[in-house]
Structure 1
Amino acid sequence: MIAKTNAIVLSKIKYGDNDLIIKCYTKQFGVVSFLQKGILKSKKGKIKKAYFQLLTQLQLEITYQDNRSLQYIKEVKPHVIYATLHNDILKSTIVMFLSEVLSTSLQEEEENESLYAYLETTLQWLDMQHSCANFHLLFLLKITKHLGFYPEQDLNNAAFFNLKEGRFEEKPTDFYSVSGGNLTLLKQLLGTVFDDLSEIKINAAQRQAFLAMLLLYFDLHLGSFKKPKSLEIFNQVFNT
């Protein structure tokens, strides 16, 4: 069938000499992969490879079949044109890192309007900000609400948080019970909205430690999750 849907680009890989496989999170169908033949060779076609920068928001007209692993794009145009996301070094590093996290975290091939709206609005928010060093921390924490493992906030005055169980606890129960600086920052971020993110003041070491904890949290709750290959580069860029 022919369908129109908004989409956010998660990844793209070269296939053969001239083709691309583009993985998107779509508003109508969830995760969908597309095969675009000849896109790396042809300069005359309507569909250009420049449309498919990571986390770009697009409007697509596609041919879609449930039993096909690779779909086809008939027409594409920008839905949102970012002002800074791909030309600011810090933001483009965030884009590279988060697209990799999302590509392994998002697996459902079904509609999820609230998750799509979250991605759409937070990326547009980031595009408009001057300060972005802690964006990825709040972004990853808040998206767990849509992925099904948002921290239970009962006993949120407790001295520990169990990553495996996703809940606060009075006493440590196993290896995955965390406390100290990571716990303090977790409680801060749980009570923070994006517009107040600039009020969170942490240094590079605290940022990296909390990110490592978040990635472990994702790994414990998502069977598909893989440690991002871009993590080392990401930490180097934000090591200030």
Structure 2
Amino acid sequence: MQTHTCFLLSYVKFGDNDAFLHCFSADAGYQSFFAKGLYLSKNKKKPYLFPLNQLAVSVVKAGASKKIPTVSKLELAAEYVEVKDVRMQSILFFAAEFLHQILREEQQNDVAFEAISMFREDIKNNNFNAHINLLVRFLGISGVAPLTNDYKFLDPESGNFTHEIAHPLFTEEISQIWKTFLMTENIGEISLIRDSRNSFLDSLLIYYHQHFFGFYTPNSLAVLRQIFE
């Protein structure tokens, strides 16, 4: 039996009572597990299925003919923090969907695991920039963050700052926000007003489209925007 400490990225109900869990674990990176009987009325673990909950998943090692290990025990791996604010809930769902596509091929990565932990702290502290901070951190983790210089405009395709605007969304104001995040050691202290937050998030998603093959805008973005209106 093996036990993995992991963050829940997504889950899919299978049949009437079972589910597949997709997680990012501290020791093995992206992992999928089969949870049998999770939806049975006597099973009290279904409330654990909330985006980016930290779980302790004990599994029976899969045999040669079975690729996905079966969960034998499911517990919370950290203190449970109930997120009641619907705005923070929408940020959690957006972040989990983003991470699910970014981390699908990722092996063990302590820095990535710590970045998710930092995101959870931002959520706990009701930081409405939590998802922004997460996306910025993962650019650095992935090695595609822009390098700063004295030019005013960020070119999202090349990842360089230039003297002329290269994309209509990457104005001098938005490019300056990029520089602020890139040059600030503790980005959790940066505060953005709603309009700037929305525009900067749009620019981040464009940058991800340019630098991550097959990247798509999370479907939960529409809900996130609606809730913050």
TM-score (norm 2): 0.88
Unaligned runs of 5+ in 1: none
Report whether the alignment pairs 1:78 with 2:76. Answer: yes
The one of 98, 106, 115 equivalent to 2:112 is 115
Deviations 1:18-43 (A, max 9, x none): 22111101111111111212211251
The one of 88, 96, 99 equivalent to 1:102 is 99
Structure 2 letter corresponding to 1:165: S
Q: Alignment partner of 1:216: what SS?
A: helix
| Contact kept in structure 1, 2:115 and 2:137, CA below 8 Å | no
Structure 2 letter corresponding to 1:88: D
2:180 is matched with which residue?
A: 188
| Contact kept in structure 2, 1:32 and 1:71, CA below 8 Å | no
Unaligned runs of 5+ in 2: none
Cα 1:39–1:82 change in 2 (3 A) is closer
Compute the RMSD of aligned alpha carbons: 2.3
Structure 1 segment 1-240 matched on structure 2, within 5 A: 2-43=1-42, 45=43, 48-65=45-62, 69-84=67-82, 86-127=83-124, 129-130=125-126, 132-153=127-148, 155=149, 157-172=150-165, 174-175=166-167, 178-192=170-184, 193-197=186-190, 200-202=191-193, 204-239=194-229
1:221 is displaced (CA, Å) by 1.5
Q: Alignment partner of 2:216: what SS?
A: coil
My pick for the range that moved more, 160-169 or 68-77, is 68-77
Aligned length: 227
Cα 1:118–1:64 change in 2 (3 A) is farther
Cα 1:66–1:179 change in 2 (3 A) is farther
Q: Alignment partner of 1:12: what SS?
A: strand
1:184 is displaced (CA, Å) by 1.7
Structure 2 letter corresponding to 1:15: F
| Contact kept in structure 1, 2:133 and 2:188, CA below 8 Å | no
Q: Alignment partner of 1:7: what SS?
A: strand
Structure 1 letter corresponding to 2:210: L
Cα 1:191–1:28 change in 2 (3 A) is same
Deviations 1:13-72 (A, max 9, x none): 2122222111101111111111212211251x5x72222211001122223449754222
Separation in 1, partners of 2:222, 2:37: 33
| Contact kept in structure 2, 1:21 and 1:35, CA below 8 Å | yes
Deviations 1:141-174 (A, max 9, x none): 1121112312223x1x2111111222222335x5
Identical positions, percent: 25
Separation in 1, partners of 2:53, 2:169: 37
Separation in 2, partners of 1:238, 1:191: 27
Deviations 1:63-97 (A, max 9, x none): 3449754222222221222434x222221111011
Cα 1:178–1:26 change in 2 (3 A) is same
Q: Alignment partner of 1:75: what SS?
A: strand
Cα 1:144–1:64 change in 2 (3 A) is farther
